[in-house]
Amino acid sequence: MKNFAVLLFGALLLSACGPKEPNIADVTRVISTLASDDMRGRQAFAPEAMDAANFIGSEFEAIGLSKLNGDTDFIQDFPLYTVSTASISASINGEEIASDLVAASVSSDSLNWMEGGEVVPTYVGAGDNLMATWRSNRSVPNTLLVVHPDQKEAFDQIAGFLRRPSRSMTVGGGSNMVMVLSAVKTVKTFSVAAKASTTEAMIANVAGMIEGKRTDEIVVFSGHYDHLGVRGGAEPDSIFNGANDDASGTTAVIELARYFKSMGQPERTIYFVAFTAEESGGYGSRHFSELVNPDQIVAMFNIEMIGKPAVEGPNTAWITGFDRSDFGTILQEAVEGTVFNFYADPYPDQNLFYRSDNATLARLGVPAHSISTTPIDVDTDYHQASDEVSTLDLEHMTNAIKAIAAGAATIISGEKTPTRIDPSTVN
């Protein structure tokens, strides 16, 4: 009886400690939760995004991940500010400009500009390139553009951008631009008065780690958990579930955490991160990049849309920015002789390297690439309400997660270190 108990205990211990391969049951449970209608499309600023974050955090907890250095929670929340121009008025040479001929993007609480001050008007004549002038002044602190009436069409187009609320990670850190349409050739006197209103919203990444023997060499697995939320005009189904984009990548991050945790302590430290607000400007990865030392991150596996098989066939996945480092080659070598295969992004015209969170880290020199399997050129569910779990091939997705785990083996073991990406080549 006693021996039997010892044996049983030993068997339990073994099953608890042996590697836990990614499996379709876990994959199905996690992606079905993230992409359920209850999550209402996980729009970063909607309350359901926090439900998704809490769910991811509870999975990290159950897996036994550690919090990142200094964190008390898996949820890494941070404020994002939305600034809208509340009022704007302008006059030139004593004459008030009609409100439809003024447009402003204001990031300060209020503006009061007059002749003789710091702001000098920039004239955009009938034959000048207004678009180019606007672009080159976008990050200048204060700009007043006086635009010739012949430019009305371009003026209206840019006014549309300026009048939209702008988002910022800091208060008052942005720039102020005021644009008026006026035939005046010489501005002798002017006044501009504007007020802006700022609202703050807390949004959150979810991050956990397995501390390796080397604490200053970090491998990151990431995916964005936010999606587009609920959009009108798409009745009867107005919920954009984002099953493939990117509940699939988020599920992969969770299942890779489960797998690598079951393997015991790795050589290199592994971070598992679910980013927020990828779809609204990449703010999650920008916040994350400010919390880490990019020089310590040896590789970033950003996983985007692995729910549908690639056109090249089963057990294949492609890597964006393949030639920017030898990350892809290392993955190819690591899976040599297995059923899996990695290759370069087949859609270079789509600029996918720049269209996800990897680019933020690549700008800091990290070999940061996105891995995907989606046939994006023919995928009719991309950014549609129809991006549902029922359109995915979860067996393929489970295999893709296994492929990524196998591909990462030599980087996690410290055997291989990808070459850095040259930040000067990343826009």
Query: Would you tell me which residues interact with Zn ion (CB under 5 A)?
Result: 245-246, 304
Q: Residue 307: helix, strand or coil by DSSP?
A: coil
Q: How far is the CB of 412 from Zn ion (least distance, A)?
A: 24
Q: How far is the CB of 160 from Zn ion (least distance, A)?
A: 26
Preceding peptide of 246 cis, ω within 30°: yes
Measure the CA–CA gap between 362 and 427, rounded to whole angstroms: 10
Measure the CA–CA gap between 90 and 99, rounded to whole angstroms: 8
**What is the residue type of 361?**
L
Closest CA to 269 of 186, 207, 341, 179: 207
Quickly list DSSP for 67-101.
PPTT-SSSEEEEEEEEEEEEEEEEEETTEEPPGGG
All residues at 6 or more sequence positions from 10 whose CB lies less than 8 Å from its CB, including other chains: none
Q: Which two tokens mark 80?
A: 């994002």
Distance, first Cα to last Cα, the chain: 68
